[in-house]
Amino acid sequence: MTTVLIVDDEPAILELLQACCEGAGYRTISSTNGREALRLFFQHHPELVIADIRMPEMNGFELVGRIREVSEVPIIILSALGREDEKVQGLQLGADDFLVKPIGVKEMTARIEATLRRAQLPPSESKGVYTDGVLTIHLDRQEVFLREKKVDLTPKELRLLAFLTQQAGRVVSVKELLQEVWGSPHHSEEVVKWHISSLRRKIEFTPRHPKIITTVWGSGYRYDRPSQADLEQS
């Protein structure tokens, strides 16, 4: 049975999330603070973590960061504020989804199911090595190198980059990226935007003027293999 770790210091929210998960057939374990949640994570090895941001002892961001050091388990972050900087920070740390409270039971259930489905998707249709003179991806080792220097990517960034390189030269729509990388086209398009921005900061030589991952306005994004001129200038 799938186990879900739920972390929230508001008893009413905690009970609602437990009822939502258990009603969908999942086993739940819960905590009201991040430090205890981390202990429960190592003890029970849940298949999904749902965590609030503002908690005592260890906040949600710290919890996500600690979990991401050792695991790629899917994580949903909850926030009562929904500020953009919080969303960006959570996604950059490796969270798979970001939800603003309050959230309805039906939507919460759908988000949980979609997140668990995404976790079961293979990271790539093909195994092996991708290289284009600037970027090298070792899919089997889940490692990325920029000019022989290792680049640290979150699991979601790696999945996104691998898919874009597989479609190199072709414009990929946001909906297609949501379907292929996130497992559902119903997520916010901003999630893709944030991850693309994060990738550019890590792999572009001039992130504000990207040449590798380009935006095709009104259509989506395209991975452009660097030309010989680009290689000589980089």
Q: What would the pLDDT profile of 122-163 be if each residue is shown by its tens digit?
A: 444 445 788 887 888 888 788 899 888 999 888 888 889 999
pLDDT at residue number 36: 93
Alpha-carbon gap, residue 231 to 135, rounded angstroms: 11
Least confident of 36-40, 183-187, 204-208: 183-187
The CATH number fitting domain 129-233, selected from 1.20.1050.10, 3.20.20.10, 1.10.10.10, 3.40.640.10: 1.10.10.10
Alpha-carbon gap, residue 212 to 182, rounded angstroms: 21
Question: Which residue intervals of the chain bear CATH 1.10.10.10?
Answer: 129-233
Mean pLDDT of the chain, nearest integer:
84
Beta strands 135-138 and 129-131, pairing class: antiparallel
Among 112, 76, 114, which Cα is nearest to 97's? 76
Beta strands 129-131 and 97-100, pairing class: unpaired
Least confident of 74-78, 80-84, 112-116: 80-84
226 confidence band (pLDDT: 50, 70, 90):
confident
Question: Which residue intervals of the chain bear CATH 3.40.50.2300?
Answer: 3-120
Q: Which CATH superfamily is domain 3-120 in?
A: Response regulator (3.40.50.2300)
pLDDT at residue number 126: 47
Alpha-carbon gap, residue 129 to 138, rounded angstroms: 5
CB 77 within 8 A of CB 9: no
CB 62 within 8 A of CB 39: no
pLDDT at residue number 124: 43
- pLDDT tens digits, 92-129: 788 888 888 888 888 888 888 888 877 665 444 445 78
- Kindly tell me if the per-residue pLDDT of 69 is higher than 50: yes
